[in-house]
Structure 1
Amino acid sequence: MAVLEHLTSQQAIDLENKYGAQNYHPLPVVLSRGEGVYVWDIEGKKYYDFLSAYSAVNQGHCHPKIIEALKNQAENLTLTSRAFYNDVLGKYEEFATNFFGYDRLLPMNTGAEAVETAMKLARKWAYEKKGVPANQAKIIVCQNNFHGRTISIISASNDPIATENFGPFTPGIVSIRYNDINALQEALKDENVAAFLVEPIQGEAGVYVPDDNYIREAFDLCKSKNVLFMADEVQTGIARTGRLLATCGNCSCPDKNCSGTPDVKPDVLILGKAISGGVLPVSAVLANSDVMEVIRPGNHGSTFGGNPLSCVVAIAALEVVRDENLAENAFELGQLFREEMEKLIEETNLVRLVRGKGLLNAIVINDSEDSSTAWDICMALKENGLLAKPTHGNIIRFAPPLVMTKEELMDCVDIIVKTIKEFDK
């Protein structure tokens, strides 16, 4: 079966089941094309994408500007490694540092790599700048986090599925309750703490939004203890939550709804996913020079990190966010979506609550976490032309591309309402 174009959906699923590692449980739909907010399966059925590859495709599928940048660069130079300079990396670093308001950028490929990079950076900074004794540095994380799947990162996880039979784990990681400022204050009493690593909104946990003052107070506490505040904005960044960053740490944020005054500017900013518009694996760690300067030649690297192809794609992807006002669109459509879901909650017992910011939202199904109801609803949504995925059993995350129009959003709301009401009969 060499000609993949002739596969049916079932044949494609069978191939993955036979030859692939079974580390995912996908919704049974086989996608072959995407454009904007839409995707099509092998048989040609059209769907609204309400997951955006876990917020990697904020700019929409195959955005023409990003694809054009990819094509043009692919014909000239794709990879040099960092053994040599190339003529694109410096331009990208200048553009991105100005865009987000930092001195320096360390380029990597995946979100997990960027988180690992930030953890290494924090430890080295702690030894060389803060004076923490050798091999004693600690990093505080939050329970129910999702920072990736590497050994060090799952050492920070309390998810038994992520950790079972993968030990021994990396030491020096302290886990506290999310959205609990007192727990953070207690953990910061340890003078060996190097950093606090936190998601401004916990996406994989079910779009859990903390109290309005939590991130600000956490940042202030870290500053008072000379501890780095590290924001994992791999999923929440790049306009997803209605601001350029969920921490809103940039005076030049393109969101017109922003006051223009930084709320929190993380000491270390971790980005991935939509920084390339979902076209290539691109991630980045940003910090000012007083932190980043502890990284010297040989300390850290990546053969593909900072490759010319990724750099031009990332510049184009960020320009799309800026020029098409995607943060503003996410802010406005997110408010509308939650208002419509609140109306649905009044009309059905099946949905318990809606939460989120911008176009990162979730509904909580009124059933136990070990039930199949949320999965069954997503299967029905698929049949009705909308793709979404459950998380944590009874939660359905809704995160469409940020290029969605009001008319398209309301069409999707109609599909969701119709599907939920059919289940509630």
Structure 2
Amino acid sequence: MSAHPTPHDRILADRARFVSGGVATPRLVVHHAEGARVTDIDGRTYLDFAGGIGCQNTGHRFAPVVEAVKAQADAYLHQCFMVGVYEPYVEVCRRLAALSPCHGDEQKSILVNSGAEANENAVKIARAATGRPAVVVFDNAFHGRTLLTMTMTAKVKPYRAGFGPFAPEVYRAPAPYPYRGVTSDDAIAGLKRLFKTEVDPATVACVVLEPVQGEGGFMEMPPDYPARLLEVCREHGILYVDDEVQTGVGRTGRMWAIEHYDGVEPDLLVSGKSIGGGLPLAAVTGPAELMDAVGPGGLGGTFGGNPLSCAAAVAVLDAVAEPSFLAEAEALGARMRARLEALAARRPEIGDVRGLGPMLAMELVERSPDRAKAIVDAAFDRGLLLLACGIDGNVIRLLAPLTITDEELDAGLRIVEEAVDATG
């Protein structure tokens, strides 16, 4: 007589039976999570350097978020902002206005459900404000999985393969990638060539750029590049959209990663992921003259700015905006970088350590996903959740919660070192 399946095996079997195979699923079956740790259904605890793909900057079940969500749940769960105005939505927009890196004094926002939806709305706003159709994006970009945003995304498999035809009027320019020999000069020259060979800059509504390209491999923009890109945009009347879905809300040691680049004030800011503290929320923020370019009814959605997500976001933004929180995040990044650079110095297969603040990654010299996958698997076996990324799948990214303790950080980095050594 066969043994009864474990809860872990039963859930994964049901997943295989009832959930689309198009959704990639790991071995982990989550039971609960707290702070920097995730516990599976069999009771094994893992340190989390994945954060639900960058959604847990303040850690799992951040106490102010849990308290705010519980209080909001006692009042109401859903209204739809287009049917009845509610204060949590307005409060998030108020805080985003105060924290906005965009140019102009009077800032406004729209709240939506996801980073992809926010990027789509940023393009809509840019098109309405400029009267132009075209969008310029960059090599190694990731902006989402909808028709428009997967067109904007650079990686074919798994994000674009088999899903065409794609959205029109999306053009791709080179992005700086110093480790692989693409400089800021090369990228600016490539953009100017694009304007001569593919699209008239007078028809371009916006450029959309991540200051640290996330899924593309954690490439931070060189210090001079955003300002030079902004100069080109201003020359041609093109709006600069700063995609901070993964880089924002303290992830790089600043509220927004673009704040690492002196004098660069984007036209629109796209935020998401960690802004909701684990609940779905994203936003587009910018000066009133742009945000009001769309007529009433042109923006919105049934669940955009859900009251529970907004209550969570108010708690997150209040916490992360504290100078002490950001200072600790910056110090966290320095400790992480020192350990990763020491590891790279003794492991020649690690070609580059890069990122801003505590948003860090290691690129392997070999342009293949095999070794990176082996490292991720070895870390998992030792109790650490890691993610790979990059066009070649050969980059290991670290997204430790900014609230992690020194002991947890040391334990997690030790597992990274062990995983690299074990697969060498």
Structure 2 length-normalised TM: 0.89
Q: Post-superposition shift, 1:360?
A: 1.3
Residue pair 2:173, 2:190 contacting (<8 A) in 1 also: yes
Residue 23 of structure 1 and its aligned partner are, at CA, apart by: 2.3
Is 2:83 aligned against 1:83? yes
Note if contact 2:371-2:423 (Cα within 8 Å) is conserved in structure 1: no
Instruction: State the superposition RMSD in angstroms.
Output: 1.9
The structural deviation recorded for 1:202 is: 0.7
Determine the structure 2 residue equivalent to 1:96: 96
The Cα offsets for residues 26-63 of structure 1, whole Å up to 9 and x where unpaired, read as: 33111211111111111111111001111110000001
CA contact (8 A) 1:141 1:198 kept: yes
Q: Distance in 1 between matches of 2:188 and 2:328?
A: 32
Distance 2:32 2:368 in 1: 33
2:118 paired residue among 97, 111, 114: 114
CA distance in 2, matches of 1:380, 1:274: 27
Q: Which letter maps to 1:120?
A: K
Q: Quote the offset at 1:7 in angstroms.
A: 6.0
Paired-residue identity, %: 31
Q: 2:35 maps to what in 1? A: 36
How far apart, CA to CA, are the structure 2 residues paired with 1:54 and 1:288? 29
SS at match of 2:213: coil
**Cα contact 2:137–2:170 (8 A) shared by 1:** yes
Please, which of 185, 190, 199 is the counterpart of residue 183 of structure 1?
A: 190
The one-letter code of the counterpart of 1:182 is A
2:153 corresponds in structure 1 to 157
> What's the counterpart of residue 400 of structure 1?
400
Aligned pairs (5 A) from 1:269-348 = 269-278=269-278, 280-323=279-322, 325-348=324-347
In structure 2, what is the Cα distance between the partners aligned to 1:163 and 1:421?
Answer: 34
Q: Residues 25 and 87 (structure 1 numbering): CA distance in 2 closer, same or farther, change over 3 Å?
A: closer
Q: How big is the shift at 1:113? A: 0.5
Decide which moves more: 116-125 or 219-228: 219-228
Cα deviation for residue 206 of structure 1 reads: 1.2
Q: CA deviation at 1:159?
A: 2.2
Q: Answer yes or no: is 1:48 the counterpart of 2:47.
A: yes
DSSP 3-state at the match of 1:191: helix
Aligned partners of 1:420 and 1:187: how far apart in 2?
Answer: 40
**Structure 1's 327 and 184: CA in aligned 2 closer, same or farther, altered over 3 A?**
farther
Change (3 A) 1:79 1:324: farther
- 1:145 corresponds to: 141
- Could you tell me which residue of structure 1 aligns to residue 232 of structure 2? 221
Residue identity in the other structure for 1:76: A
CA–CA separation in structure 1 for the residues paired with 2:128 and 2:63 = 41
Residue-by-residue CA offset, 1:233-275 (whole Å, 9 max, x unaligned): 0000111011110101xxxxxxxxx7xx953221000000111
d(CA) in 1 for partners of 2:324, 2:53: 20
CA distance in 1, matches of 2:95, 2:223: 31
Distance in 1 between residues matched to 2:61 and 2:130, nearest whole Å:
42
Question: Which stretch has the larger CA shift, 321-330 or 358-367?
Answer: 321-330
Q: Aligned residue for 2:60?
A: 61
What per-residue deviation string (whole Å, max 9, x for no partner) do you get for residues 291-341 of structure 1?
A: 111122121211111232222111011112124733222222212212211
Map of 1:70 onto structure 2: 69
For 2:7, the equivalent position in structure 1 comes to 8
- How is 1:188-207 mapped onto 2 (pairs within 5 angstroms)? 190-207=201-218
Q: Match of 1:301, SS?
A: coil
- Whole-angstrom CA distance in 2 between matches of 1:297 and 1:369: 49
Name the SS of the counterpart of 1:247 in structure 2: helix
Specify whether residues 310 and 79 from structure 1 end up closer, same or farther in structure 2 by C-alpha distance, changes over 3 A only.
Answer: same
| Aligned counterpart, 1:252 | none
Task: Tell me the CA shift for residue 364 of structure 1.
Answer: 1.9
Structure 1 match to 2:263: 263
TM-score, reference length from structure 1 = 0.89
Alpha-carbon distance change, 277 to 324 in structure 1, aligned in 2, over 3 angstroms: farther
